[in-house]
Chains A and B, each alone.
Chain A
């Protein structure tokens, strides 16, 4: 598939047997499923669809995918999609992460890695152009994220320098890895990179851990692959750079401006496990972060004109020397306000701690908030928490709890299953309904944008009906053409590139970019009603088929979202169940699902998904 932005080949790596081979996909498959999330859904359906409900996401049958897309490296802000069967939702979650890895992989001549089986011993994969090695990782198994990063990057770079003494200095390879949480198959573990980069949603760190795969490193020395229209692609890249140079909000402040604003202005920020969504803590303003902890104002990854990241170091006090990407909005909320923490130093400290263990900051922050509310209500005691007094705002207590979860110590073993499963288990032990304190959708903790105030971008059904569960970056929206809807997000998740660099582009301009690179001649309508629709339908089918432990039969909001907001300018506000039901039915019609939310036969057949229809009808006994 040369000349369309694709490197042309994918590596199949079987960790059980150690076999490595090349796979290629026909042009029609690539045109239809693009790359990243789209192609991941296709690969998973083709290989596992017929027995999807029987596959244990943490067993050797699951497939772990690292997939770029045709636009990766070209569209400003390269990302890669990490996916597979999710140990959180039992469906497929397209989880993307930035870094140099995506471009390095394409420069090495690969569009993606298809990792199957399960290694006997801890291992890591090193991709150097066309050569792929599976290597022993015993020496870093048990290491936390920073140490793993520094050890493996140095080791591999030293080897490159030694093997090719005449080349000059070798630039470091790029790496994604897991921490302790991933190794222990904690369902809220992410695949992490740099300090606090992560593919969090979905729990693919646990999938890597189940395969005993500690890290993947890559060094590619080739150019990015040829595209359909070179001149136009290069013009468009520079156009997107310049548009983003001119927009200041994310560039100047990162999403960190929202740590104060989303709470204070929109009343949609999780505070103390979503008991409130409003706060007016100026101590959490982005200016405070800048003044107190930032050490780098613009930080970014390959081909990013926005560089919305900032680097943070705590310079003084109890948490001195904590280092992290400056917490973005989600981590400000989930390692901050949701735990009752409102100072930059404690927030940076806690982010550095959870990243060291290799968690998804959103998911573990959701679970820790849930645990703290149980403590607040006297449902969990200090003894049950291994001696921790889990009080709101106590960063040390939450750091200790994160360690227990990462190591699956004591109650950490139950909380390691994520909020939904922990609520079921603890509820059973206590004889109580604890799901009412679990703020999640389809086993995935909900991103830090609430629906009750009606002032933020998600709608009442956004999480309940999304194929990505609680993921705040890909939600159900009416109309489906809105930014960050499941169907819109399929562009950047399959492209694969960063949403933030397309925020100021019209959909037509994004499709123009796709066409310059791929020459596939997509139209905006085709994208929404054919390409993205097909992928969403398959994703929906797999979500409904579920897994051995959990199946979803109904789309619902967490109970908390029906409790009136207790504070702030929107005090008293909450949607009613009737409103949500009505909105759900409206959404189901648009996406071709029946009144129970099951994709209709006619919808699937129209998209050429007869096989999906057959399995769905058989397995759901329709």
Chain B
């Protein structure tokens, strides 16, 4: 379906406009409907102006996969994405607790974990974000360089923790008192 090769989604959170077009295209791709809560990328806004797109960072050591008690989580060799086998997933949320950023969440009506699968290697969220000119999410080639590979994991952060850093960058001193 694509000739992009292995890709990764680079993120620049301060550029996120909060338009949530990423949530729309993601849920259309995966669910066939506009369904923000079932989107694999969710934009958190714990403080207005501090928008934080929360999506899988494809950690090199895959703690979610290791934690999964049923073997429902695997890594796709071709794309590098995390795949969840929804028939095997029991919705136990072990992957949520194992993820350094608590990124997976359960499908709102079906009992299985939602994790970004990179749309099979051609991620819709990053495409629309670039087309719209925001470039908060951008498709870059996946690397096998160990240094960069380890850096992916830095993007797996909990919404509160990420917000703390971003609010200080955006609002300076005035932001600190909002936490």
Contacts and interface: CB of A to CB of B under 8 A. Distances in A.
A171 B19 contact: no
Given A107-B36, A303-B19, A172 B45 contact: yes
Contacts of A562: none
Nearest to B44: A171
A129 B37 CA distance: 12
A301 B36 contact: no
Interface string A171-183: 1100000000000
A146 B133 CA distance: 30
B18 A299 contact: yes
A33 B37 CA distance: 30
A146 B178 CA distance: 9
Nearest to A352: B174
A321 interface: yes
B17 A150 contact: no
Nearest to B14: A296
Interface stretch (A161-169, A207-215, A461-469): A161-169
Contacts of A323: 49, 171, 174
Interface stretch (B76-84, B104-112, B138-146): B104-112
Given A171-B42, A222-B109, A302-B36, 5 more contacts: A169-B44, A169-B103, A169-B159, A222-B35, A307-B17
A514 to B, nearest CB: 17
Contact of A150 (B37, B47, B159): B47
A221 B15 CA distance: 26
Interface string A357-382: 00000000000000000000000000
A303 B93 CA distance: 30
Nearest to B20: A302
B172 A195 contact: no
B106 A313 contact: no
B47 A321 contact: no
Contacts of B47: 150
B108 A313 contact: no
A235 to B, nearest CB: 11
A126 to B, nearest CB: 16
5 tightest CB-CB pairs across the interface, nearest first? A168-B105, A223-B35, A321-B174, A221-B108, A194-B48
Interface string B128-153: 10011110000000000000000000
B49 to A, nearest CB: 5
A223 B31 contact: yes
A296 B49 contact: yes
A504 interface: no
Interface in B34-70: 34-38, 42-49, 54
Contact of B36 (A103, A165, A313): A103
Q: From B19, B47, B108, name the one whose CB has the most chain A CB atoms within 10 angstroms.
A: B19
Query: Is chain A's interface secondary structure helix, strand, loop, or mixed overall?
Result: loop
B119 interface: no
B86 interface: no
A153 interface: yes
A300 B159 contact: no
Contacts of A313: 170-172, 174
Q: From B17, B27, B45, name the one whose CB has the most chain A CB atoms within 10 angstroms.
A: B17
Given A222-B108, A321-B173, A172 B46 contact: yes
B33 interface: yes
Interface in A76-104: 100, 103
B102 A168 contact: yes
B132 A223 contact: no
B10 interface: no
B19 A305 contact: yes
A150 B103 CA distance: 23
Given A172-B46, A223-B31, A150 B20 contact: no
A6 interface: no
B170 A295 contact: yes
A130 B174 CA distance: 37
A511 B14 CA distance: 37
Given A241-B132, A303-B21, A307-B19, A168 B96 contact: yes
Nearest to B91: A166
Q: From B33, B36, B159, name the one whose CB has the most chain A CB atoms within 10 angstroms.
A: B36
A195 B18 contact: no
A73 interface: yes
Contact of A300 (B17, B46, B96, B173): B17
A224 B32 CA distance: 11
B134 A169 contact: no
A25 interface: no
B19 A168 contact: no
Contacts of A195: 48-49
A149 B33 contact: no
A245 B172 contact: no
Contacts of A491: none
Interface in A220-255: 220-224, 226, 234, 237, 241-242, 245
Contacts of B96: 166, 168-169
A398 B124 CA distance: 48
Contacts of B172: 313, 315, 321
B18 A150 contact: no
Nearest to A251: B133
B26 interface: no
Q: From B20, B103, B113, B170, name the one whose CB has the most chain A CB atoms within 10 angstroms.
A: B20
Nearest to A168: B105
Contacts of B113: 168
A223 B34 contact: yes
A513 interface: no
Nearest to B104: A168
A107 B14 contact: no
A224 B54 contact: no
Nearest to A166: B93
A150 B44 CA distance: 14
